[in-house]
Structure 1
Amino acid sequence: MGDEGRGSGYAVVLGEALVDLLETERDGELIYRQAIGGAPLNVAVGATRLGADVRYVGSLGSDTLADRIASFLREAGVGTTSIARVSVPTTLAVTTFEGAEPTFQFYGEPPSYSLVRPDDVDEEMVAGASVLYAGSIALMRQPFQAAARAAWSVPGPLRVFDPNVRPKLLPDVAAVNALRELVEDYFATADLVKLSSADADVLWSGATPEAAADRILGLGARAVVVTCGAKGALVAVPDGSAMLPAPSVAAIDATGAGDSVMGALVHRLLGEGMPADLAGWQRYVTFALAVAGLVCERRGGAVAMPTREELTARWGALD
């Protein structure tokens, strides 16, 4: 059991939901396959499919695509009572690939995911949560930014954060600097920060995972996990760090793999609380990397998030 003594409860996940158009080839023709996505939505679905109780806070548009997102969340078992519906089309993320790694270009102004207001945040629900997740591209826009700050300031839950940097939304050095200032403010009060090595490279001009973890811990975070694709993940706490290998898989699509790591960590935090030491975090992250490995073997996004039964069938019993 972790040092927080929390072993149950629910998570609140704030952030974007959108539709990915994933580039693929069929019969020699380049086409785009539609998939429901958005990093926070992926986290919510990933944790729920592993058995967690998750309440999603976000804004959805007024079109058929938004209706499909809402239905998908309900069918996945994610709590949807805090979704705000807004009168704009659903944001699209056109996704291209280099190998299995995705690159995203976003379409829709204003973004349908950015219109959650502070008044839409149920502070009583946040205060009663065991885990609060915030992060990703929704934080870059108002009024969502103000809504997230309102939720983050509510005492009670463990706070987990993922910057989920998207270079296509950062046109110049000033934009990178503004994002770094924004996310470092969250890092300072986070119980867990999860980011990718690519995020670290953008935020701190080529920083290694180790250097990024040291900086984030120095700001005040209690634990940092840096995912490094097929190389695995670095986990760091004030008392030490460890590089953990990823399982060997035949990856076909890494879309949502990092989000599945966060979903798995949210699931573990709900079930067992904050680990007491580095060894505890290593156990959590090893489990999360097994989840991500299975996600990479599937066509990506929220639909790739596995259940515990599917994990056991693929990997056998997991600690």
Structure 2
Amino acid sequence: MDDTVVVLGSANADLVVAVPARPAGGETALGSDVETIPGGKGANTAVAAGRLGAPVAFVGALGTDAHGDLLLDSLRSAHVDTTRVRRVDRPTGTAFITVTPDGENSIVVSPGANAALTPEDVDLTGAAVLVASLEVPLPVVEHAVALAAAGGVRPVLNLSPVADLSPRTLAALDPLVVNEHEAHALTGGTGDLLALGPRTAIITRGARGARVLTPEGTTDIPAPAVAAVDTTGAGDAFAGALAASLATGTTLEEAARTAVLVAAISVTRPGAQPSYPTADELGRG
């Protein structure tokens, strides 16, 4: 039985600095010592799903440098299959992250090896769900979604950062996942994501949880009240938990409820991948 979550996306070394406030243009801010933490939207999503006990395979590209080794170690420690990862002669992707005392962050990404990913790298063997994100070439993502749709694999796309998708790609998505800022950019402020063509959609709403949109209606799922320490990677935690639940045959609404809980736990801890809970922590081990 096909039950694997195949994750397609970026893998980055996150260079994180805590600052009292984000500097304005031309301003210099003193920050903390730099922490180097495994990250990247794709790798984060894979680790989040893997820590929940889902069978997960990651499709991505890494450099042959120390940052690439760091990311492989993190993926494998979450029991993610890394046999579909290609090492290339480019630096591993890097994200430069500033975190303020309220837990909010600003991020600049240097794609590096992520930009070397090609359609030929896509392998959906054994997949029940494909979950993809950007920070990798758009043609690769669209090829993967088309392959999934043709092969009976459920395509989920975390459209971050926002990009122009073909109507064919949008029509295959079940669901399209975006945050409130991305939803506003895509719909011109209407919030009607289903008008763009996906079968279903989810808007993640930070501390307010998530909104699930289906042809049958809209459901708001609240998030538990938590004290945020670092919101880095919370959206990826949501995507990974969502895909892990969907791969078991859970309904979209129930999968979103689990994903909201996982994302809420993740923001109470520093970093992205190190902050993700296990199934035991959710009482489901």
Quickly name the TM-score band, shorter chain normalised. Answer: 0.7 to 0.9
SS at match of 2:85: strand
**Cα separation, partners in 2 of 1:146 and 1:114, compared to 1, 3 Å:** farther
> Is 1:235 the counterpart of 2:223 in the alignment?
no
> Is 1:221 the counterpart of 2:207 in the alignment?
no
Of the three residues 212, 222, 227, the one matched with 1:245 is: 222
The amino acid of 1:116's aligned partner reads L
Of the three residues 107, 120, 140, the one matched with 1:104 is: 107
**Cα separation, partners in 2 of 1:202 and 1:32, compared to 1, 3 Å:** farther
Asked if the contact 1:17/1:41 (under 8 Å) is kept, the reply is: yes
SS at match of 1:65: helix
Q: Write the mapping of 1:251-270 to structure 2, written as runs, cut at 5 A.
A: 251-270=228-247
Q: Which runs of 5+ in 1 are unaligned?
A: 1-6, 167-178, 276-280
Number of residue pairs matched by the alignment: 275
Cα distance in 1 for residues equivalent to 2:262 and 2:142? 32
TM-score (norm 2): 0.87
Cα distance in 1 for residues equivalent to 2:136 and 2:256? 26
Which residue is equivalent to 1:20? Answer: 14
SS at match of 2:282: helix
Cα distance in 2 for residues equivalent to 1:272 and 1:304? 26
> Is 1:164 the counterpart of 2:138 in the alignment?
no
**Cα shift at 1:229:** 0.8
**Cα shift at 1:120:** 2.3
Of the three residues 293, 298, 302, the one matched with 2:269 is: 298
TM-score (norm 1): 0.79
Asked if the contact 1:188/1:221 (under 8 Å) is kept, the reply is: yes
**Cα separation, partners in 2 of 1:183 and 1:24, compared to 1, 3 Å:** farther
Which residue is equivalent to 1:186? Answer: 169
Which residue is equivalent to 2:90? Answer: 88
Q: Deviations over 1:157-197 (max 9, x none)?
A: 1111111127xxxxxxxxxxxx2x22665322111111100
Asked if the contact 1:24/1:33 (under 8 Å) is kept, the reply is: no
Which residue is equivalent to 2:134? Answer: 136
Asked if the contact 1:12/1:54 (under 8 Å) is kept, the reply is: yes
Of the three residues 21, 29, 32, the one matched with 1:30 is: 32
Cα distance in 2 for residues equivalent to 1:100 and 1:183? 35
Asked if the contact 1:66/1:90 (under 8 Å) is kept, the reply is: yes
**Cα separation, partners in 2 of 1:184 and 1:33, compared to 1, 3 Å:** farther
Cα distance in 2 for residues equivalent to 1:146 and 1:8? 22
Asked if the contact 2:117/2:137 (under 8 Å) is kept, the reply is: no
The amino acid of 2:137's aligned partner reads L
**Cα shift at 1:107:** 2.9
Q: Deviations over 1:135-154 (max 9, x none)?
A: 222134x7x45764664464
* Structure number having the greater helix percentage: 1
Give structure 1 regions of 4+ aligned residues with deviation exceeding 6 angstroms. none
**Cα shift at 1:204:** 3.8
Identity of aligned residues (%): 34
Q: Deviations over 1:271-299 (max 9, x none)?
A: 125x2xxxxx3332222111111101001
